[in-house]
Structure 1
Amino acid sequence: MSIFRKLAWFFKEEKKSYFIGVFTLVILALIQLFPPKIIGIIVDSVADKTLTAKSLASWLSILILSAVLVYCLRYVWRKHIWGGAARLEKLMRKKLFHHFTQMDQNFYQKYRTGDLMAHATNDINAIQNVAGAGVLTFADAFISGVTTVIAMIIFVDPRLTLIALLPFPLLAYFSSKLGDKMHEAFKDSQAAFSKINDKTQESITGIKVIKTFGQEKEDIEDFQKNIDYSIRMNNKVNNLDAMFDPLITLVIGMSYVISIILGGYLIVQGEISIGQLVTFFNYIGMLVWPMFAIGRFFNVIQRGNASYDRVYGLMQEKSHIKEMKTGIKTPAKGDIDYQISTFKYPGSEEQVLKDVHFSLKEGNTLGIVGKTGAGKTTILKLLMREYDDYEGNISINSQRIQEYTLDGLLHSIGYVPQDHFLFSMTVRDNIRFGMPEASEEKVEQIAEEAVVHQDILGFSEGYDTMVGERGVSLSGGQKQRISIARALLVQPELLILDDALSAVDAKTEEAILNNLREERDNKTTIISTHRLSSVKHANEIIVVDEGNIIERGNHDELIALNGWYKKMFDYQQLEQKIEGGAR
């Protein structure tokens, strides 16, 4: 029952709707008391041989009217109770999705995608059932049960009613015990479902790798293990759930036996009529639904309670990136001063960055180079406030980046990451993702700057070509250039290319860089790359190794140093000549 306390905030908001729904159930329960009584009267009239066609027609008319009223009232309570449940589902999904958008990298490293999907689907559905089936079964079972018992006392016999209800406390006791066990069992069941989601998402995303290494059989076996575990957990829930129905049947059966014995005795003694006993049996039959509803109620409540705890735990997660309420809302623009003494990733003792210091004038270009794992991308992550737990300071226009709102900071940055993500929409909509109102001419102009316009025209539907999930229908170079076009369209004050030209050839790379120099002459650009030709024209280049800056200067100055940069540049030039000669 604690789930109702947890959802009290929602029921307060929807009190009018639920009041109408529950009040309708009360009227419905009262109307349903009349048919058994009428049937008893008809039976007594038959037994007394006093039944006439006129009286029978009158009673049948009342029964038909009752059926019509029941039909109408059921429509009313369904509209208000199930309608309220649908609004809870909508509200919970909206809150959860908004929460996802506010979380930082720590959150998404802690929770796997499949687990988050399970929270957003199965868990929300289980919570919604509490506000729908849970409220219905509780209110209907209680109202119908109470009114039926009162009718049994008034219309038949208090003694018979009391004796017939003696087995019912057993039902309440065992239902409570089973409910506690179901709560824990359902939490395990939902966790198992999350693991299936994780495995499915991982396998589909990595299907190319699985096929390349011939691991289809092993992956299927691993998936089957998750399925088997989930089935075991679900069977545990189902086994506990299955105990409710036999228990209810046993209690109702005992009540019937007691009623037959005692009712027969009371008829023989002349204290009740046969019609009253028939009415009593009908009322016992009406108690079957409230009893089964109790079983269903505990099932719904325990599932909803477990799911609410899971979702609530997720909602309690806080982003480590704190936004100042009085932060600067205008887009960040100006010189960048980057002064980081040390940085460690959360949960790690390894220093990823050490004494990384540089300044970047507005309108200039900075190149960041180094071997894989040197810390290039980490430098960019701190600039975009993916992490704030570092020793040092990063400022734009003499303002610490923490003093800007996240919108003010991030809306001024156009970021092209290593992992080029394209949405399942048209090429045109992917390019104008950050500016949906952009005209077709503007989209094509930007595509030309990113040297992808001709490629797009070669697609089956041109700019209206649908891109598959994660852009699987495109080559790596095409995905990179569309991602660059998407970033350029918003005309950011700071453009960050994180190894964003690795999949294009040298000629295309040179064309893109020339376009960037022409179109972004007064805007700031940072290029992180393995290919040194990408940063030859940068105003300053820093060479990063194991989180330290080991060399810095422009291209000519670094060549003159005869260090890592010179050796890597000569190697790449030689490699390019060899590839050119081979062609």
Structure 2
Amino acid sequence: MNDYQLLKDYVRAHIPYYVLAIALIITSNVDQSALPRVLGQFMDELQQGTITHSSILHYSLLLLFITISYAALFGIGQYTVMRLGRKFEYTTRQQIFYKFTTLSESYYSKQGTGKLLSYVMNDVTSVRESISNGVNQTTNAVFLLISCIVMMLISGIPISLLVISVCPLVIIPFLVVYFGPQIKKRSMKVQEALATMTESAEEQLGGIRVTKTFAMENIAQTRFGQTVDDIRDSQLKLVRMSSLFQALLPFLGSISLVISLLVGGYMTLTHRITLGNFVALTLYLRIIMGPLQQIGNVINMMQRSRASLERVNRLLAEVPDVGDSDDALPLNHIKEIRIEHLNFAYPNTDNNVLRDIHLHIQAGRTIGIVGKTGSGKTTLVKLLLRVYNPASGSIRINGTDILNISLDSLRQSIAYVPQGGFLFSTTIRDNIAFSNREAPMSEVEAAARQAMIYDSIASFPNQFETKLGERGLTLSGGQRQRTSLARGLMKKASLLILDDSMSAVDAVTETNIITRLRQERKGKTTIIISHRISAVRHADEIIVLDQGQIVQRGTHEQLLAAGGIYASLHQIQEEGLQHV
């Protein structure tokens, strides 16, 4: 994507408003450039002694009109451009967030939350400033320069004097060629340092409770301080380069003014130009110093925004690893899942997490999956959800390859309850009814009862309208898991996957939840992943994974009789319960 394509597309879509705003700013520049000429004419009449009271009134009213019209035209034009810039900021942030929702898990595994937030906050703001202030200042600088030059010619100022006076300004294009890339390079480093700082701040604040309980505040301050130091160093390098560039432009303008005073003053004394022309020339050169300063600001701004645009463009150009095929089919109801010769390794790794998996899940059955940590249990259900695509082998649902099923309909058909039980910073009701915000309260309460969380919620002062803290930290670990379970049950999907989602719940509560699940989901398909044998012992079939392979399968009784990993886990857990 072209560096400025994002801006070009936006400006093209709003071209009438930009044309109007630019026309207003140009007209205001013409007004402003008329001031020195009017003052020059006034000085000539004053020197010649032809000034009258009516002439003074005429010039005063003319200057007042020029001043008011300039303020009105420039103000409206600037407001229009600024408003368009804010709209760009809003739409681009929406576009970036939409992009976030389409990206695959493999992308997020490589990116920190802070860096992602930096796209939305720092980068978009930098680009917005360029499209607002950049358009204002560029239009104002360019056309004010043109207007001043035209007015100087109309005023009768000799061309030779103009050429000599503006000669130092010829150096400006060479300065732009040298300083532009340098400023862009340093701006990119500043944006990257800001992203790192945002990521560090998000991490430190997210773990502030752990930091305080370990009394490690000094370490946290040092780590964050290092990222702040990096930003300071990067910004100082940028500021030094930008300041030097911006100082050189008005310096050249001042040199032009000095030349005009020397040469113009001599020509005035020798009567080769009038006093009015000399005053007008010095005023015009003084006005020109403003646009020169603006040109420096715009170049700095555009180079900084270009660095941000490159980052945003890279994000928007990201292609998800997982997406719908051109002929993706909708899925209405999961009747059968058949997995054959399934192998999978995570991106940028060589070791297979799953190896030659064969599994047949019929509708209405409950499947238990157990195994040691790292055996591939969660990876298997992530492939069912198409968080990742299978490396080899196949997963077929109702006879259709999972790669040919639309992602939206697939995930709508599955209710997945992970171990973490992430909750949003809103009410308990909104969290449970996440899949259907319009659901009646009776359904929300029913899901809470099934998850054995209803009594806890009822004890809160605001009950289901209780607002949770960040990530649901208002609740205990077990309460968060049961609220997350209620959210999964609320979805009423044809396939329910519980991924160790009762690990923080006591054994008695877990048993009661499993009993209710068996009653409520009779005839529906359920997959239960757990380290606890008690959670899967009533499953129609239990799968035992070890090092990515299915090493045992059968009912609870069959696996106990066969010995092996399952029987060992059962014995260890039974002995643990006896010692409690």
Structure 1 residue aligned with 2:71: 71
Please tell me whether residue 298 in structure 1 is matched to residue 299 in structure 2.
yes
Q: Report the Cα distance in structure 2 between the residues aligned to 1:310 and 1:149, rounded to whole angstroms.
A: 40
3-state SS, counterpart of residue 356 of structure 2? strand
Q: Report the Cα distance in structure 2 between the residues aligned to 1:246 and 1:208, rounded to whole angstroms.
A: 48
Q: Report the Cα distance in structure 1 between the residues aligned to 2:161 and 2:77, rounded to whole angstroms.
A: 33
**1:5 deviation in Å?**
5.6
Letter in 1 for 2:539: A
Q: In the alignment, is the contact (CA less than 8 A) between 1:498 and 1:528 conserved in 2?
A: yes
Structure 1 residue aligned with 2:547: 546
| Identity between Structure 1 and Structure 2 (%) | 33
Indicate the larger mover: 213-222 or 101-110: 213-222
**1:76 deviation in Å?**
2.3
**1:466 deviation in Å?**
0.9
Q: Report the Cα distance in structure 2 between the residues aligned to 1:547 and 1:229, rounded to whole angstroms.
A: 43
Structure 1 residue aligned with 2:82: 82
3-state SS, counterpart of residue 552 of structure 1? strand
* CA separation of 1:28 and 1:160: change in aligned 2, threshold 3 A: same
3-state SS, counterpart of residue 367 of structure 1? strand
3-state SS, counterpart of residue 339 of structure 1? strand
Aligned residues: 578
* CA separation of 1:562 and 1:201: change in aligned 2, threshold 3 A: same
Structure 2 residue aligned with 1:368: 369
Q: Report the Cα distance in structure 2 between the residues aligned to 1:273 and 1:56, rounded to whole angstroms.
A: 20
Structure 2 residue aligned with 1:397: 398
Q: Report the Cα distance in structure 1 between the residues aligned to 2:305 and 2:329, rounded to whole angstroms.
A: 42
**TM-score scaled by length of structure 2:** 0.97
Letter in 2 for 1:311: V
Q: In the alignment, is the contact (CA less than 8 A) between 1:340 and 1:353 conserved in 2?
A: no
3-state SS, counterpart of residue 536 of structure 1? coil
Indicate the larger mover: 564-573 or 527-536: 564-573
Q: In the alignment, is the contact (CA less than 8 A) between 2:345 and 2:351 conserved in 1?
A: yes
Q: In the alignment, is the contact (CA less than 8 A) between 1:340 and 1:390 conserved in 2?
A: no
Letter in 1 for 2:180: G
Letter in 1 for 2:64: I
**1:314 deviation in Å?**
1.6
**1:157 deviation in Å?**
2.6
Structure 2 residue aligned with 1:149: 149
Letter in 2 for 1:124: V
Structure 2 residue aligned with 1:205: 206
Q: In the alignment, is the contact (CA less than 8 A) between 1:332 and 1:408 conserved in 2?
A: no
Structure 2 residue aligned with 1:36: 36
**Equivalence map 1:30-429=2 (5 Å):** 30-155=30-155, 156-429=157-430
Q: In the alignment, is the contact (CA less than 8 A) between 2:28 and 2:71 conserved in 1?
A: no
Deviation per residue, 1:546-580 (Å, 9 max, x gap): 1111111011111111222122112212222321x
Indicate the larger mover: 545-554 or 171-180: 171-180
Deviation per residue, 1:139-185 (Å, 9 max, x gap): 21111111111111221332221111000012231133111100000
* CA separation of 1:4 and 1:80: change in aligned 2, threshold 3 A: farther
3-state SS, counterpart of residue 415 of structure 1? strand
Q: Report the Cα distance in structure 2 between the residues aligned to 1:54 and 1:561, rounded to whole angstroms.
A: 116
Q: Report the Cα distance in structure 1 between the residues aligned to 2:102 and 2:218, rounded to whole angstroms.
A: 39
**TM-score scaled by length of structure 1:** 0.96
**1:257 deviation in Å?**
1.1
Structure 2 residue aligned with 1:466: 467
**Equivalence map 1:510-521=2 (5 Å):** 510-521=511-522
Letter in 2 for 1:362: A
Q: In the alignment, is the contact (CA less than 8 A) between 2:144 and 2:288 conserved in 1?
A: yes
Q: Report the Cα distance in structure 1 between the residues aligned to 2:532 and 2:356, rounded to whole angstroms.
A: 24
Q: Report the Cα distance in structure 2 between the residues aligned to 1:421 and 1:6, rounded to whole angstroms.
A: 35
**1:91 deviation in Å?**
2.3
Structure 2 residue aligned with 1:27: 27
Deviation per residue, 1:268-301 (Å, 9 max, x gap): 2222211221111111121011100111011111
What runs of 5+ residues in structure 2 fail to find an aligned partner?
none
* CA separation of 1:427 and 1:548: change in aligned 2, threshold 3 A: same
What runs of 5+ residues in structure 1 fail to find an aligned partner?
none
3-state SS, counterpart of residue 92 of structure 2? helix
**1:29 deviation in Å?**
1.1
Q: In the alignment, is the contact (CA less than 8 A) between 1:498 and 1:527 conserved in 2?
A: yes
3-state SS, counterpart of residue 529 of structure 2? strand
Q: Report the Cα distance in structure 2 between the residues aligned to 1:74 and 1:453, rounded to whole angstroms.
A: 62
Indicate the larger mover: 329-338 or 431-440: 329-338
3-state SS, counterpart of residue 165 of structure 1? helix
**1:387 deviation in Å?**
1.1
Structure 2 residue aligned with 1:8: 8
Deviation per residue, 1:14-70 (Å, 9 max, x gap): 111111111112111111122212222222222222222211111111111122211
Q: Report the Cα distance in structure 1 between the residues aligned to 2:257 and 2:71, rounded to whole angstroms.
A: 29
**Equivalence map 1:554-569=2 (5 Å):** 554-569=555-570
Letter in 2 for 1:40: G
Q: Report the Cα distance in structure 2 between the residues aligned to 1:345 and 1:61, rounded to whole angstroms.
A: 77
Deviation per residue, 1:471-525 (Å, 9 max, x gap): 1111000000110111111101110000001111112111211221111112110
Indicate the larger mover: 397-406 or 240-249: 240-249
Q: Report the Cα distance in structure 2 between the residues aligned to 1:227 and 1:8, rounded to whole angstroms.
A: 34
Q: Report the Cα distance in structure 2 between the residues aligned to 1:391 and 1:252, rounded to whole angstroms.
A: 69
Letter in 2 for 1:295: G
Q: Report the Cα distance in structure 1 between the residues aligned to 2:206 and 2:410, rounded to whole angstroms.
A: 32
Letter in 2 for 1:107: Y
Letter in 2 for 1:210: T
Q: Report the Cα distance in structure 2 between the residues aligned to 1:532 and 1:354, rounded to whole angstroms.
A: 24
Q: In the alignment, is the contact (CA less than 8 A) between 1:210 and 1:216 conserved in 2?
A: yes
